[in-house]
Amino acid sequence: MENTGNDKAESAGISRARFMGAAAVMGVGAAVGLPAAGASASTRPSRSPSPSPRAAAGGPRGLTHRGVVYTVGAGETPGTAWSGRRMRGDIRVIADDLHADTVEVTGDGVERLNATASEAAERGLHVWLQPTLGDVPEREILEHLAEAGRHGERLRKQGARVTLAVGCEFWLFVPGIVPGADVFERIDNLEKGNFDLAKVQKRLAAFTAKAAAAGRSVFRGRLSYAAMQDPTFENVDWNLFDIVGIDYYSYFPQRADYVRELRKFQRWGKPLAITEFGTCTFVGAPEQGGMGWSIVDYGKTPPEIKGNVVRSERVQAAYLTDLLDVFESMNLHAAMAFEFVTADAPHRPDKPLYDLDMASYAIVKPIKDRPDDPESGWHWEPKESFHAVARHYGRAGC
């Protein structure tokens, strides 16, 4: 398989999926306010969300953009190394079979980001470009952002629909905001309470302003950022951006509660984009929100699923479509399902103990040709959630 991307990104990057796994292992969710467990997964949300004022007034209805997150990391093993050929096939599926009109191109490595953004634009998709280099000095993160932003601007000038998001949850990925030399130390310090919230917020605000300025300096389209959904921890100055972006992993038994929670992010009077939403593939996963990875014991080699977890693609599919219905009812700007594929969380139908796809938010399941070989080739197959999202997007006319 071909590889591309700069060396710094390959050595320093951490994928969003790996962050979520690390956060689950370290127990960071409670420390920083990730959503707590809700009602039983068997309790389906009520189907009577409050209508938005815009819809009640006869204005446009539904989401403006319907998409999926596509991560372009280097891969954790030789078998899952990044492949341009595979990426091109995936983008085609996202456009033609998933019926999405938007793809959130995220991860690190400018060449990978640029190649994927170009392919998405060529397919007529709206490109939501979100570089996420972390665990390197601020200067390198901002340079990485600017390089990707310049390419996004070139695509925009050529007629592509492009939004630039300057990053994702800087409090975790950018050194110097939360104490810790790397993302794992920062997670540990968050879990133990070894941080000063006022200082963290001051540093976070300063870097967010720098990132917004870097984005504006190279990109003339609409600018956004992917923030944690807890504004008491990550209190973003949304005056810096054109679009409010939230990574959203709540669970409520009643749909009206989602609407009530999301309304607070609309108080700035700007479009609201759900830059991530989703759940894992087991019974009870929605209640765990962004902590679904906690069912994996990474202390073992190979990693194992803990406890008596029951795989359920139906649960994942139902949560995604329920949330999409809520977002449509509120006429939100965009919603990006997290994520298309997590290559390093393979499905093991033969050995549930090692079925890491149960702890995956992806809507397709990777299957290795040789399950115990890190260099094995692999393919993916759609989950029920893929088909459910495709039906929803297809009905919306994307």
382, 347 in Cβ contact below 8 A? no
Average pLDDT over residues 174-182: 93
pLDDT bracket for residue 183 (50, 70, 90): confident
How confident is the model over 323-351, as pLDDT tens digits?
999 999 999 999 999 999 999 999 999 99
The 3-state DSSP class for residue 377 equals coil
122, 96 in Cβ contact below 8 A? no
For residue 60, the model assigns a pLDDT of 54
Average pLDDT over residues 45-51: 39
The domains of the chain, with CATH numbers, are 7-396 (3.20.20.80)
Q: Which residue has the higher pLDDT, 285 or 22?
A: 285
How confident is the model over 249-270, as pLDDT tens digits?
999 999 999 999 999 999 999 9
| Predicted model pTM | 0.87
pLDDT bracket for residue 56 (50, 70, 90): very low
Residue 188 sits at the vertex; the CA angle it makes with 186 and 191, to the nearest 5 degrees, is: 110
Residue 136 reports pLDDT greater than 60: yes
Q: What are phi and psi of 36, to 5 degrees?
A: -80, 170
Q: Which residue has the higher pLDDT, 184 or 139?
A: 139
Those residues whose C-beta lies under 8 Å from the C-beta of residue 272, and which sit 6 or more positions away, are: 243, 244, 246, 262, 265, 266, 330, 332, 333
One-character DSSP codes across 151-184: HHHHHHHTT--EEEEEEE-HHHHSBTTBSSSSHH
Instruction: Copy the structure tokens of residue 165.
Output: 């998001």
Q: What is the dihedral of CA 63, 69, 70, 75, to 10 degrees?
A: 180
For residue 360, the model assigns a pLDDT of 96
Residue 50 reports pLDDT greater than 70: no
353, 285 in Cβ contact below 8 A? no
Radius of gyration of the chain (CA): 19
